[in-house]
Structure 1
Amino acid sequence: MTAKKIATGKKQKAIYWLKEIIKFTVFITLFSVAVDYWRSQDMPSEIPPKLSINTIGGEWVDITKMSYKEPVLVYFWATWCPVCTMVSPSVSWLANDHQVVSVAITSGDNNRLVKYMNYKDYDFPVINDSTGNIGREWGVTATPSIVIVKNGEISSITTGVTTPIGLWLRLFFA
């Protein structure tokens, strides 16, 4: 076999695998979008429910008012949610430079949440939804769920695992 045939074979193999990777990426993207749509169909699509309340740190938040300054990432999560442990560090990272408000659904009392936040070293505001009423008002059926609110309207909804870049892009394009 000549060197030219070997090089051509390697090139064809590389092209084959590149096509396979592209197909897989497109499939995963479409599947993720479909799952996101299905999980978030009960959530509001335009105007979010009012959310003006104190965080566990005593800070007053008004999502609608905040959203007129810059987009707000509203993060619905729970201490008992295994997937949330993968998403929460990304949310904490974003909270350094962006408006983030989280809602801890049925995760215990304020003291338990403060201890949990300190133990995990998370740094984002938390509203304690100990009864799950806020989550129900917002139509949250799965955690984690992330809603981007801009100018008083919902611009993006996603559920499940997401990356820091995915969250940042949602805020950027809101």
Structure 2
Amino acid sequence: MKKWLNFFKNSLLYILLFTVVSVAVDLWRTRDFTSSETPTTQATALSGNNIDLDVLSQDKPVVVYFWATWCGACKFVTPTINWLSQYYDVVAISASSGEARRVQAYLNSHDYQFENINDPRSQISSGWNLKVTPTIAIIENGEIKNITTGITTPIGLLARLWLL
């Protein structure tokens, strides 16, 4: 019994430590954001739908996912984003991933269902002042409420959404 109690206590300690380090890294990586205001983002998704993030985020939070087809870390995060898109509005922006036909073929081959805006020259990503893929921003009422970069878990994303 004492062994299990020790295991449980150590596990909680590691989870707490991981959470603190994760939050600190997110804060350090987002230091370039001087405003919580969402950069104007209006574009046509590969599906043909017109997307305006300010308008879309007025009634509920929107997950904005910056990724690339060539990004190694994105291969771990994108399935989570696809799953999340069943429950929340997700707008993905594929940076420097080539022409729209190539990106659409990639999405189809992995059966990803989220809305995606192709950003072949990373103009949208630059407007957001992003330097890392993947980056996930949660916006609500036209404001950035949370932003994280790198690999994240489904639980981490859900926690960020629930804590709004």
TM-score by length of 2: 0.93
In structure 1, list runs of 5 or more residues that go unmatched.
1-10
How many pairs does the alignment contain? Answer: 164
Which of 25, 44, 59 is the aligned partner of 1:69?
59
Q: Are residues 28 and 165 of structure 1, via their aligned partners in 2, closer, same or farther at CA, if it must alter by over 3 Å?
A: closer
- Deviations along 1:72-103, one digit per CA (max 9) or x if unpaired, are 10000011111111111111111122111011
Cα RMSD for the two superposed structures: 1.4
Residues 1:106 and 2:99 aligned together = no
Which residue identity lines up with residue 68 of structure 2 in the other structure? A
Residues 1:135 and 2:125 aligned together = yes
Larger Rg: 1
Verify the 8 A CA contact 1:39 1:141 in the aligned structure 2: no
**Residue pairs, 1:29-68, within 5 angstroms:** 29-43=19-33, 45-68=35-58
Which residue identity lines up with residue 20 of structure 2 in the other structure? L
Residue 119 of structure 1: CA displacement? 0.6
In structure 2, list runs of 5 or more residues that go unmatched.
none
Q: SS at the partner of 2:102?
A: helix
Shift >3 Å, 4+ stretches: none
Q: Are residues 13 and 20 of structure 1, via their aligned partners in 2, closer, same or farther at CA, if it must alter by over 3 Å?
A: same
Distance 2:75 2:20 in 1: 24
Q: SS at the partner of 2:129?
A: coil
TM-score by length of 1: 0.88
- Deviations along 1:33-61, one digit per CA (max 9) or x if unpaired, are 11111222223541010001101221100
Distance 2:9 2:87 in 1: 38
**Residue pairs, 1:5-16, within 5 angstroms:** 11-16=1-6
